[in-house]
Amino acid sequence: MHSENSSESADEPPSQPSLNSLKEFHSAGRGFWADVPDSDWEDWHWQLKHRITTVEQLQRLMPTLTPEEFAGATLANHKLALAITPYFFNLIDPTDENCPIRWQVIPRVEETHTAAWEMSDPCGEDSHSPVPGLVHRYPDRVLFLVTDRCASYCRYCTRSRLVSNASGYDFHPQFDKQIEYIRNTPTIRDVLLSGGDPLLFSDEKLDHLLSKLRAIPHVEFLRIGTRIPIFLPQRITEKFCAMLKKYHPLFISIHSNHPRELTTEVRDALGRLADAGIPLGNQSVLLRNVNDDPTVMKAQMQKLLMCRVKPYYLYQCDLIAGSSHLRSSVRTGLEIMEQLRGHTTGYGVPQYVIDAPGGGGKVPINPDYVLSRENGRVVIRNYEGKIFEYPEAEDGTPLVDAPNEIEEPELV
Ligand code: SF4
């Protein structure tokens, strides 16, 4: 985790930031780009054009690059490209090797180690693809992949086989065929645009695509999955939000993992989307050394609510090749969920899921709150570990006689 006290000796464990300090909103600032005019800095095209994409740029801006990072950045363009927007780069603490932002976007040599159980397509998307760029895994909804490009690249990306095209996947969506498949499949009522990042498209291109999908009578619901509000909040302009408003019901799922990503710039961008009437959800990935800590996760969830975003999913990190160094355990994920449920607002508690390896879909993972179902009662425990009973016959029918009293509630 990020340490705020760089003077601690190597023998002492680093002090953890408090919940309240993690929840403070700060600007990402200008960092190395202090001389850039506001009109450039706030222009999303300028940000894209000036991304950090080479090991030489990275080394120049961050002389504290570790040998693991240097080797990772040197090899990145053969696996998953290196790209970081100047805005997001400013969130990295160059003095902290364990900076949670750094671990998400700076390649490490560990990415070249593939464990026996890791895969290039851990969610089995390619085997559920009726036409290029479309994944039809659940009966009533499809994943519509629009591009293989992102504003910055996350080192644990589930679709690292295709995004950035560093490993030669040669992704070519065919919008006409994708739309035709949806038009000819009346069971599809929900279309999720993803990628890569759909918000890299121009307003006009996205407008055109959304209008085609909205014209299909059985498509009830449109969704966009994007990390642009986090990597490139400058892209969320008033004009863009006004365009999106034409396509309600339209939901947006953002992707944010650590409270430091929720800056004043991000809060304002999310506010513009919310003001356009777009319901916002967040997907976080449980990542070792980034957010596998109950205080960090609680701050993240509470801060998302302050940004008008409902925490939606917490993902166990997929078994993507080269991600072992970032994977936390299911046990840790369950402990974090225990620390959220009942301890903070219910709206701030995401559903923890494992995307079942090989294409089984999302499986909800919950701590055990039901202790038994027998003797005319369901025995449950609450967030404090106190035991309660709910009277119900084992077959679910209403009880005729009251069950025998159980002993005094106790702590488990
Ligand atoms: S923004 Fe999404 S698609 Fe792009 S690299 Fe990150 S996780 Fe992958």
Give me the tens of pLDDT residue by residue for the chain, a chain 412 residues long: 434 344 444 455 556 789 999 999 999 999 999 999 999 999 999 999 999 999 999 999 999 999 999 999 999 988 899 999 999 999 999 999 999 999 999 999 999 999 999 989 998 888 889 999 999 999 999 999 999 999 999 999 999 988 888 878 888 899 999 999 999 999 999 999 998 999 999 999 999 999 999 999 999 999 999 999 999 999 999 999 999 999 999 999 999 999 999 999 999 999 999 999 999 999 999 999 999 999 999 999 999 999 999 999 999 999 999 999 999 999 999 999 999 999 999 999 999 999 999 888 999 999 999 999 988 899 999 999 999 999 988 888 877 777 666 555 555 5
pLDDT for position 402: 72
Taking the mean position of all CA atoms in its chain, how far away is CA 332? Answer: 18
Query: CB of 157 closer than 6 A to ligand 1?
Result: yes
pLDDT at residue 107, as a whole number: 97
In sequence order, the 6+-apart residues with CB closer than 8 A to the CB of 284 are 255, 256, 257, 291, 297, 300, 311, 313, 314, 315, 350
Contacts 24+ apart (CB under 8 A), 28-31: 28/87, 28/88, 28/90, 28/91, 28/263, 28/265, 29/90, 30/90, 31/86, 31/89, 31/90
Give 157 Cα–ligand 1 centroid separation in angstroms. Answer: 5
pLDDT for 366: 96
Provide the 10 A C-beta neighbour count for residue 106.
24
Give the pairing type, strands 250-255 and 221-226.
parallel
Cβ of residue 58 lying under 6 Å from some atom of ligand 1: no
Beta-carbon count within 10 A of 160 CB: 25
Show which residues are catalytic: 137-138, 141, 150, 154, 157, 159, 318, 355, 362
* pLDDT of amino acid 255: 98
Task: Say if ligand 1 is within 6 A of residue 154 CB.
Answer: yes
Instruction: State whether the beta carbon of 121 lies less than 6 angstroms from ligand 1.
Output: no
Per-residue confidence (pLDDT) for residue 395, from 0 to 100: 83
pLDDT of residue 397: 80
Mutational pocket test of ligand 1: of 48, 106, 111, 154, the residue with most ligand atoms within 8 Å of the beta carbon = 154
Contact 291, 90 (CB under 8 A): no
Q: Which residue of 157, 192, 256, 284 sits with most ligand 1 atoms within 8 Å of its CB, as the best mutation to test the pocket?
A: 157
| CA 225 to ligand 1 center in whole angstroms | 10
Closest ligand 1 atom to Cα of 227: 1
Q: What is the DSSP string of 336-391?
A: HHHHHBTTB-GGG-PEEEEEETTTTEEEE-----EEEEETTEEEEE-TTSBEEEEE
Identify the residue whose C-alpha is closest to ligand 1 atom 1. 227
Q: Whose alpha carbon is nearest atom 6 of ligand 1?
A: 154
Q: Whose C-alpha lies nearest to ligand 1, atom 3?
A: 196
The answer, yes or no, to whether any atom of ligand 1 lies below 6 A from the CB of 159, is: yes
Contact 258, 286 (CB under 8 A): no
